[in-house]
Amino acid sequence: MRNPQRTQKIAFFFLFLATLFIVIPVGLIVVIIIQKGLPAINWQFLTDVPKQGMRSGGIFPAIVGTIYLVSGAIIFALPIGLLAAIYLCEYAKDNFLTKIIKLAIVNLAGVPSVVYGLFGVALFVVFLKFGASILSGSLTLGIMILPIIITVSREALESVPYSFREVSRSLGASKWQTIRYIVLPNAISGILTGTILGIGRAAGETAPILFTVAAFYLPQLPNSIFEQVMALPYHLYVISTQVPNVDEKIRYGTALVLLALVLFVNLVAIIIRYKFRKKKKW
Amino acid sequence: MVEFLIRDLNIWFSSIHALKNVTLEISANEILSVIGPANSGKTTFLRMLNRLNELNANFRMKGEVKIAGQDINDMNVELLRKKVGMVFALPLPLPLSIFDNVAYGAKIHGTRNKKKQKEIVEHALKQAYLWDEVKDRLDTSAFELSGGQQQRLCIARTLAVEPDVILFDEPCSGLDPISTAKVEEAMLKLKENYTIILVTNNVKQAARVGDKTVFFLSGELIEIDKTDKIFTTPSDKRTDDYIRGKFG
């Protein structure tokens, strides 16, 4: 005879185990990086330029470079992605062309990041003659995170109940007024979620910036968007594989700074999102 | 005075023939009750009058609908909807405060002056018999009101646009008897200044408030007449059967 009580317990045990397995690696990554990286963190490490062939000194130029690149990518991708999402969700008719566009966006999300890197070189660095520069790198990262922003923004827009749109239109509001005053304010927290995901991805990727912007060693800060910069993920790659005899704590310290930077940006976005959600009245 | 003139109106959604050769007139400052079983085309008819059917991509129509002598399809649709307001079956407040719900239409139609907005909101809420219940909490969310209050808020929101006509789409279907009585009271008062078209599943409600009543069945207009006549001596047997609850 089967004992339903026992079956239940076994099922519960395996489900719990699976969930635990997700937590363990995440926890371990954070613990190991903090444990090994924290000793390296001090004021000099955060504000000084790399010295002695990057074996000592700080990582300030890489921090600044990553901030520039992520900001650039968001400035480029958020407006375009949001406008495209509004078009696809509110205006586009459900026809063949729209289906192709949607399929293209899904496929774009699945393209490996190194392919974006090569594409960025071909289009921005070579064809448009931006050279290896902040502009080229930001645009490449921007294109990489576009599908994330579009997909999540579309979901956010679609989650606003249709009845709100109908009520607004019945009061004589135009389609655009309805989007502006009713749909967007209620979709904003979802759109911010997409932005958070985009920021995380843009900050962490190495391949797209490898050929389009990242400098191996460039202690001075850039003066314009047409110059190269160092960036944290590439710097981490360089000191881990290209430069011999780099102290372990510097490597883990760099990783920790990158992790903290992404978490910090996410935190800001989460707080903004929380504020908007509290205002949400349904 | 004739408010609406509808001639040979046919409506399709994809291949479904929702309204068939409907011809009628609607007079100003009257309440016209629209009755009929489910899927008889009542709501489609109602949503024709403010062109809300157009939001459905599969909508097609033939025939003529005129408001005050003007073909509604030749009009600017936003202007038409300003003239012809609508209250939906369920209370559907917008996700805004009570004040902003009522002021929404006025803002959309260009009233930027805050003082003017306040006047409009107060006047509309009074007309909908809601002012006394909400005047101290206009800034709270509309979703904190009860169902009946929400529906009166929706009426106020429609009134704030200053329409000529108000379409009610089963406005009391989700309300308790006391809230229903309040909404009906508001409607009877409103017909002094507005033309009202009321779609209802509640035959008794049609009898209580309608000056005229029209009966739809399977997309066809069966009978339109004075409410007293329809409910005492209808000329079509199907009307009689429906009113007596023999079907639908």
The pLDDT tens digits of the residues spanning A76-111 come to: 999 999 999 999 999 988 889 999 998 999 888 889
Alpha helix segments (H runs only) across chain A: 4-37, 43-47, 60-86, 96-110, 113-120, 134-158, 162-170, 175-178, 184-204, 207-210, 232-237, 248-279
Helix (H) or strand (E) holding B63: strand B59-67
Beta carbons within 10 angstroms of residue A111's beta carbon: 13
Task: State the DSSP string of B47-60.
Answer: HHHTTGGGGSTTEE
Distance CA B77, CA B65 (A): 13
SS3 of residue B162 by DSSP: coil
Is residue A3 very low, low, confident or very high in pLDDT (cuts 50, 70, 90)? Answer: confident
Average pLDDT, rounded, for chain B: 91
Contact B81 A170 (CB under 8 A): yes
Distance from CA of B115 to the nearest CA of A (A): 21
> Residue B246: how many CA atoms within 13 Å on its side-chain side?
8
SS3 of residue A130 by DSSP: coil
The whole-angstrom distance between residue B215's C-alpha and the CA centroid of its chain comes to 16
The whole-angstrom distance between residue B231's C-alpha and the CA centroid of its chain comes to 21
Distance CA B145, CA B122 (A): 17
Contact A281 B95 (CB under 8 A): yes
Q: In which region does residue B111 sit, left (phi positive, over 0), alpha (psi from -120 to 50) or beta (all else)?
A: beta
How many distinct helices (H) and strands (E) make up chain B? 10, 10
SS3 of residue B220 by DSSP: strand
Bridge partners (DSSP) of residue A164 are none
The residue among A94, A276, A281 with the most chain B CBs within 10 A of its CB, best to mutate, is A281
Say if residue A53's pLDDT is above 80.
no
Which chain A residues are within 8 Å of B161, Cβ to Cβ?
A: 171-172
Residues B157 and B86 sit within 8 Å (Cβ to Cβ): no
User: Which tens digit of pLDDT belongs to each residue from B137-179?
Assistant: 999 989 999 888 999 999 999 999 999 999 999 988 878 888 8
Say if residue A282's pLDDT is above 60.
no
Give A212's contacts (C-beta < 8 A, 6+ positions apart): A117, A120, A121, A124, A125, A132, A133, A136, A137, A140
Q: How far is CA B142 from CA A14, A168, B88, B119, in A?
A: 45, 15, 16, 19
Which chain B residues are within 8 Å of A168, Cβ to Cβ?
A: 94, 104, 108
Helix (H) or strand (E) holding B85: strand B84-87
Which chain B residues are within 8 Å of A165, Cβ to Cβ?
A: 55
Q: Which residue of A has its CA nearest to B162?
A: A171
Q: Where are the beta strands (DSSP E) in B186-235?
A: 195-199, 212-217, 220-226
Asked if B91 reaches chain A (Cβ–Cβ under 8 Å), the answer is no
Beta carbons within 10 angstroms of residue A167's beta carbon: 24
Is residue A169 very low, low, confident or very high in pLDDT (cuts 50, 70, 90)? Answer: very high
Q: How far is CA A262 from CA A47, A117, A257, A269, B75, in A?
A: 18, 21, 9, 11, 53
Bridge partners (DSSP) of residue B9 are B22
Q: Based on C-alpha coordinates, what's the Rg of chain B?
A: 18
User: Looking at residue A222, what DSSP letter applies?
Assistant: P
Say if residue A32's pLDDT is above 60.
yes
Angle subtended at Cα B46 by Cα B44 and Cα B49, rounded to the nearest 5 degrees: 110
Total-model pTM: 0.82
Distance from CA of B139 to the nearest CA of A (A): 12
Beta carbons within 10 angstroms of residue A109's beta carbon: 14
Average pLDDT over residues A202-224: 86
Which chain A residues are within 8 Å of B78, Cβ to Cβ?
A: 172-174
* Average pLDDT, consecutive stretches of 10 residues, N- to C-terminus, chain B (248 residues): 90 92 92 92 93 91 92 93 92 91 91 90 91 91 89 92 92 86 88 92 90 92 91 89 79
Average pLDDT over residues A124-137: 91
Whole-number pLDDT of residue A279: 67
Contact B108 A172 (CB under 8 A): yes
Helix B177-190 to helix B147-159 angle (10° resolution) is: 10
Asked if A94 reaches chain B (Cβ–Cβ under 8 Å), the answer is yes
Q: Based on C-alpha coordinates, what's the Rg of chain A?
A: 23
